[in-house]
């Protein structure tokens, strides 16, 4: 896991092509707003398993860049609802396209079944780690890895040195 996290960090730094790009964490927050919709900052912090002050800094960065906006929550006007702007949606689309192109090139020697199998294992890993870290996810059912071939069980692990 340490190696994977280190590679993730190195990859994200590699993909930060210009000084105008958002920090990786702020990009993640923008992605949540684009893909999951309008949210309170406290909900984003809970979902990302970070302190509210971390989300607050990222919200400021995204607001200053014109990528998100806030409005009062009609149910509780003391709280703001955050939403991606059209510019934020376009910026995220560019970033995600660049990441997908990079990852596609990095994994060019993998076949589709290997990628699907890895995706299933990673989904299961995320679910299990989230259940261990976030108490309210403790009763969440464990995700089963996707089969490499429809109807098949999980493939055995690759031989050492093949990946």
Q: pLDDT tens digits for 4-50?
A: 888 887 877 777 655 456 777 788 899 999 999 999 999 999 888 88
pLDDT score of 11: 79
* Inter-residue contact 121 to 145 (CB < 8 Å): yes
Q: Could you give the strand order of the β-sheet that contains 76-84, starting from the edge strand earlier in sequence?
A: 39-40, 76-84, 68-73
pLDDT score of 21: 66
d(CA 17, CA 35): 23
Q: Strand 76-84 to strand 39-40: parallel, antiparallel, or no bridges (unpaired)?
A: antiparallel
Give the tens place of pLDDT for each residue, 121-131: 999 998 998 88
What are the residues facing 39 on neighbouring strands? 82
Q: Which class for 34: exposed (0-12), middle (13-18), buried (19 or more C-beta within 10 A)?
A: buried
pLDDT score of 138: 54
pTM of the model: 0.71
Q: What is the 3-state secondary structure (H, E, C) of 67-89?
A: CEEEEEECCEEEEEEEEECHHHH
Q: What is the dihedral of CA 43, 45, 49, 55, to 10 degrees?
A: 160
d(CA 43, CA 129): 19
pLDDT score of 146: 52
Q: How much of the chain exceeds pLDDT 70, in percent?
A: 79
């Amino acid at each position: 896991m340490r190696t994977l996290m280190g590679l993730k960090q190195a990859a994200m730094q590699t993909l930060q092509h210009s000084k105008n790009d958002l920090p990786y964490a702020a990009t993640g927050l923008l992605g949540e707003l684009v893909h999951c919709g309008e949210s309170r900052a406290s909900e984003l912090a809970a979902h990302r398993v970070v302190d509210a002050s971390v989300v607050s800094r990222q919200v400021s960065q995204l607001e200053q860049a014109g990528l998100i906006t806030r409005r009062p929550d009609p149910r509780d006007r003391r709280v703001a609802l955050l939403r991606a702007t059209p510019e934020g949606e376009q910026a995220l689309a560019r970033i995600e396209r660049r990441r997908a192109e990079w990852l596609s090139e990095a994994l060019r020697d993998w076949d589709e079944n290997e990628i699907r199998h890895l995706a299933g294992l990673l989904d299961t890993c995320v679910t299990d780690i989230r259940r261990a870290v976030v108490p309210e996810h403790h009763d969440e059912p464990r995700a089963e890895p996707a089969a490499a071939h429809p109807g098949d069980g999980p493939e055995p692990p690759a031989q050492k040195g093949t990946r």
